[in-house]
Amino acid sequence: MTDMLTALLLLPAGITAVAADTGRVTCPPAFPATSRHASADSIQAEAERQVRARFGQHYGCSALAFCGLCATLGTPMDERQLRSMSDSFAGGVAHRFGDGTCGALLGAVQALSMYASGDRHKHWRLAREVCDALQSQEGGTKCSDIYGKHKFDHCDACVFCAVRKVVEILHREGDISTRTLQFVEARPSGTAGATIPAGQAE
């Protein structure tokens, strides 16, 4: 018993539960997701607005999805940090437009992993939902499946599809708090995130 208690005390901070039969670890989100909006539709519309606000500023598909979601759900990081974390995934990873996974999908799943609670098995299940949504819309999840057929014509649609699905999932799973007094929004200009008073929930 003493050894078991000692082992539990040595668990990393942030771990909330361990299933003894499987060794699966359940963790809270890396960052809490907050929104001024109450409904999934309203949060999705805000995410799309954040993505569009970054058009024409040399964002790759992965950074559009990742930064748009982070700006929508709140983040302690500034825009430059967010872009640095996500730019490399654009164009099927490293801008090769080949057999790598769609950058929009990767950026969206990266954000999903930051804001979703639960263990890795839950995260895998949720990530598959995003993959399935893009597969259903575009007929594939590889950059070559999409860019190879349509060039850039479908890239924005991939970003919106992945972003909307991530918001839908997080809202359904109860991982977006809509009862916050403040909302942190990353700015596309590259400046630090600004705290904006929350408006009325929609």
Give the pLDDT confidence of 103-145 residue by residue, as tens digits: 999 999 999 999 999 999 999 999 999 999 999 998 988 888 8
Report if residue 36 sits inside a domain. Answer: yes
Report if residue 4 sits inside a domain. Answer: no
Cα–Cα distance measured from residue 138 to residue 146, given in angstroms and rounded to the nearest whole number: 7
Residues of the chain short of pLDDT 50, as ranges, are 1, 4-22, 180-184, 191-202
How many domains are contained in the chain? 1
CB 111 within 8 A of CB 50: no
Report if residue 95 sits inside a domain. Answer: yes
CB 162 within 8 A of CB 133: yes
Report if residue 104 sits inside a domain. Answer: yes
Cα–Cα distance measured from residue 167 to residue 2, given in angstroms and rounded to the nearest whole number: 44
Q: What is the pTM of this model?
A: 0.75
Amino acid at the residue 101:
T
Domain carrying residue 66? 31-197
**What integer pLDDT is reported at residue 107 of this predicted model?**
95
**What integer pLDDT is reported at residue 151 of this predicted model?**
74
Tell me the two tokens of residue 82: 């967010």
